[in-house]
Amino acid sequence: MELLRGRGRLNVGALRCLVHGPAPGAWNMAVDEALMDTARCGRVTLRLYQWEPGCLSFGRNQTARGRYDGELAARRGIDVVRRPTGGRSVFHHREITYSVTAPADEWGGLRQAYLRINRALAAGLRDLGVPAAVVEERRSSALPRPGPRACFRDPLPGEVVARNRKLVGSAQWRDGGALLQHGSLLLHNDQAMVEELRIGGSEGVDLPATGLAEHLDPLPPVETVVDALARAFATELGRERDRAELTTAERSMAGARMARYRRDEWTWRR
């Protein structure tokens, strides 16, 4: 029962909302994975968080060894981590990251859940005045291979864009009856750093990404964006919002998992 307690009370039917300040990449990934254990108990959780220091993340099966310069990242004070989810490289800095954990069969298959979550994101952004939309499905909707390219390089079907430029990059993982989908909502577009950290340097590619600052002037406080997203998720999922904190058990599980995300054997495993 401890896994399901938020602020000392049990409300499995609600959307549990966690809001966390900036933290290192290993901790952020460990918490997202730990929340999958809660999802296996039937709980749906929305987590909104940030990163400090700035962090380059690789997709679970992406080839990074020999393609990205970890020593250069360290000299620039940039963290490096490998996500539990798939996808490609992302630079996390001036952004708000969301994660959703839920039972794997909560919204159907991978694509159905992906679209449902991204529709909630787009709705929350539209409430802020952003011209956000979900890319329509195309007949050719095969996902690209997880090579060295950046996540924000290609807006794919089901993803969130603004004026045809990618605003949110997302990835999903399913394991043991739970799903995790998390992604980056850019406040400012810093994704050129992904190319700069490639071995051999940037290829001068103009990544078709965009940040909220290009659509909202002035950029609203983080708290305002977080609240808009939480409201939209609650509406889309048809659940009451329940603001909560990590349980003692979740913190313990995240602490145990963090060791893996700190190890080079995981980060540079391929």
The model's pLDDT over 20-61, given as tens digits with 9 standing for 90+, comes to 999 999 999 999 999 999 999 999 999 999 999 999 999 999
Active site residue 151: yes
CATH homologous superfamily of domain 2-134+147-263?
Bira Bifunctional Protein; Domain 2 (3.30.930.10)
Two tokens at 71?
């020593």
pTM summary value:
0.89
Cα distances (angstroms) measured from residue 223 to each of 48, 76, 96, 120, 217: 10, 29, 10, 17, 16
Which H or E element spans position 122?
A: helix 110-127
The domain ranges of the chain are 2-134+147-263
The model's pLDDT over 98-147, given as tens digits with 9 standing for 90+, comes to 999 999 999 999 999 999 999 999 999 999 999 999 997 553 344 444 34
* From 17, 41, 55, 151, active-site residue: 151
Give the type of residue at 131: P
Distance CA 164, CA 209 (A): 9
